[in-house]
Amino acid sequence: MKYNVAVIGATGNVGRELLKILHERAFPIKEIVALSSSRSVGTKISFGDETILTSQNLADYNFKGTDFSFFCAGSKVSQAYAPKAAAAGSVVIDKSSYFRLDPGIPLIVPEVNFEKVPSPAKGAIISNPNCVALPLTVILKPLNDLSPIKRCVLATYQSVSGAGKEAMDELYNQTKSIFMNGTVEPSALPKHIAFNLIPQISYFEADGSTEEETKIIYETRKILGTDIKIAVTSVRVPVFIGHSMAVNLEFEKPITPAQARKKLEGMPGIMVIDRPENESYVTPIDAAGEDSVMVSRIRKDTSVTNGLNLWICCDNLRKGAALNAVQIAEAILKQ
């Protein structure tokens, strides 16, 4: 059986990646439609090597008969159009943050909590997590099964692609300008990013945290179904694709690095690369284009009784966004 599919926000980074993954994984498509805002109508988008899609106006689209609607646009678009798609009987898989903490909307990572998806899913809205909370929970879930996690302290190192194409262009242009004795002032990001780090992602809240840090905390708790204590510092780094995390975990019971490594090696969606004696560990460049969440430098934290340190990398456009959405749809079809 084949299905009618709509991709909303098809001209953006995540939308294009989602189209690429749908084709790569041979998702059973009868008809596919690329939808965008009025300013991007008419944009040509590749779907595989032979098919070119022309973006249509989302405002004019009738979702009746659309089996899956992948929303890859912002929260305002999801707020306005996702309920309409669901009311028309479409399974909505939404990448925006708008529905993530809604208690009536499941926030899904297939390797972690797919059982939360309603069956049948027709006419449902399913939320796709933040691009840090998603790979983080893929790693935390099997470790939490070994022993409940009491506390998680992490620093994130997030690539500019997480802020969109404009931020990627800004990094490129600023880097080039440095070698040409020029200057490119920041516009997509709050500070100069080339050869620099920015300890701010999104806006600051009243307590001094950024919105991104708050998202990571509450989404991770919702996905895992636990009130784990979490402290986060999120940093934008001059990397094009690939988010990384330095993670410190405190457990209720002792877990050795060997036990953690063995548990993670046996889980779907995880790749363990952890031979520091051979300088074998993952970097964002290694993770770019990969489907797995990659973990390295699994070692004991001697500052607490039951602690471990980890280093995690993930392609934020792929598994951190588009691939997870496609995997949700694939899991629904298997259901």
Query: Prior bond to 276 cis, omega within 30?
Result: no
Interatomic CA distance for residues 206 and 210, integer angstroms: 9
Q: What angle separates helix 211-224 from helix 133-146, to the nearest 10 degrees?
A: 40
Helix (H, G, I), strand (E, B) or coil at 150: strand
Confirm whether 243 is a catalytic residue. yes
Residue 285 half-sphere exposure toward CB, CA atoms < 13 A: 1
Catalytic residue among 72, 152, 243, 313: 243
Catalytic residue among 131, 152, 313, 314: 131
**Do 295 and 269 meet the contact criterion of CB atoms below 8 Å apart?**
no
Interatomic CA distance for residues 194 and 173, integer angstroms: 9
Long-range contacts of range 41-46, CB-CB < 8 Å, 24 or more positions apart? 43/11, 45/10, 45/11, 45/15, 45/16, 45/19, 46/16, 46/19, 46/20
Parallel, antiparallel, or unpaired for β 307-314 and 243-251? antiparallel
Annotated catalytic residues are 131, 243
